[in-house]
């Protein structure tokens, strides 16, 4: 079982409009509602790839109930979310059909009380005992300690469970110091962590700070990986037009599934880039266009250098 942790779950709403204009009224052509938060998106992609997956984190209020009801419609996912008194947040993506751009609005999330955090830690320890890998994903809701991910990384390492960390800011800085097996920052998150805007230098620096391996997401330019086995660059054949929301989460699912399946790094990166690009073509985060994914698998360019044994 693969475990995904989403401390700041969400109910994702995607609106499509012909053209998004400031200070104007818009007619919405389509509305899509899905359970969300980075780890939930990762879990749905893992499920589509055939991996048994458990989702944990927090859920509360009417939006939390709606999210859990929809999670229950996915047979391959196990809901192990911890109930809280506050209401699960909503995220709103507005897709401009004319330009292909997306505008994102993210609510902050519910206040997590100390007793609720303690209940989550108990649940997490229980779930680690049967996990083959764990992904720690996304922002921290109010009330959760800023060093939360560092503690969760240490718990996974103590249990002998490979751990992937995908967050940003101070939680990422502290989490890296706890030595996760893999981190997947985007270019901005990597620059904030290291102070460098040069991708290779920044990725190598992130490894020196404690991560066993670092895969940097470079947007439409693909992925850059620096690992003990070597370094690689994986690039899609062309830029995809569509909604990029959740593309990074699909890349995480590709990397995590490849880790569990013990694939070589070039194959993990190929899968991750193909999934990420195919997600841009899907209507909502946590989904990917399977035809695009399968077509791209043979067209991803992977170049690299293997480290000496």
Task: Please list the active-site residues.
Answer: 249
Rg (Cα) of the chain, in Å, rounded?
Answer: 18
Q: How far apart are CA 175 and CA 66, in angstroms?
A: 31
Q: Residues of 174-192 as b/e, b for ≥16 C-beta within 10 angstroms?
A: bbbebbbbbbbbbbebbbb
Helix (H, G, I), strand (E, B) or coil at 295: helix
Measure CA 18 to chain center.
Answer: 28
Phi, psi of 28 (to 5 degrees): -85, 125
Give how far Cα 74 sits from Cα of 138, 198, 299, Å.
21, 41, 30
Nearest Cα to Cα of residue 9 among 256, 287, 286: 286
Q: How far apart are CA 149 and CA 167, in angstroms?
A: 9
Crossing angle of helices 187-194 and 199-208, rounded to 10° = 60
Q: How far apart are CA 6 and CA 35, in angstroms?
A: 11
Nearest Cα to Cα of residue 37 among 108, 132, 125, 124: 108
The answer to whether the beta carbons of residues 260 and 1 sit under 8 Å apart is: no
Nearest Cα to Cα of residue 165 among 152, 145, 180: 180
């Amino acid at each position: 079982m693969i475990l995904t942790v989403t401390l700041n779950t969400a109910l994702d709403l995607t609106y499509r409009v012909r053209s998004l204009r400031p200070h104007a009224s818009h007619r919405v052509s389509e509305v899509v509602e899905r359970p969300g938060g980075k780890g939930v998106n990762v879990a749905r992609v893992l499920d589509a790839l055939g991996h048994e997956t458990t989702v944990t984190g927090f859920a509360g209020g009417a939006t939390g109930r709606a999210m859990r009801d929809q999670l229950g419609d996915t047979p391959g996912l196990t809901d192990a979310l911890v109930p809280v008194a506050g209401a699960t947040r909503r995220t709103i993506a507005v897709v401009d059909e004319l330009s292909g751009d997306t505008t994102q609005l993210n609510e902050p999330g519910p206040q997590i009380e100390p007793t609720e955090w303690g209940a989550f830690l108990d649940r997490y320890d229980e779930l680690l005992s049967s996990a083959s890998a764990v992904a720690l994903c996304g922002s921290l809701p109010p009330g959760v300690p800023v060093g939360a991910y560092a503690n969760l990384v240490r718990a996974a390492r103590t249990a002998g469970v490979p751990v992937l960390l995908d967050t940003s800011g101070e939680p990422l800085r502290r989490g890296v110091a706890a030595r996760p097996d893999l981190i997947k920052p985007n270019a901005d998150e990597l620059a904030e962590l290291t102070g460098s805007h040069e991708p290779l230098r920044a990725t190598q620096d992130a490894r020196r700070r404690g991560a066993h391996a670092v895969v940097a997401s470079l947007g439409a330019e693909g992925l850059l990986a620096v690992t003990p086995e070597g370094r690689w660059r994986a690039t899609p054949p062309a830029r995809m037009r569509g909604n990029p929301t959740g593309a990074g989460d699909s890349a995480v699912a590709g990397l995590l599934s490849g880790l569990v399946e013990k694939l070589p790094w070039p194959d993990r990166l190929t899968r991750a880039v193909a999934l990420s690009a195919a997600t841009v073509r899907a209507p909502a985060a946590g989904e990917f266009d399977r035809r695009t994914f399968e077509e791209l698998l043979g067209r991803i360019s992977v170049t690299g250098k293997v480290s000496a044994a």
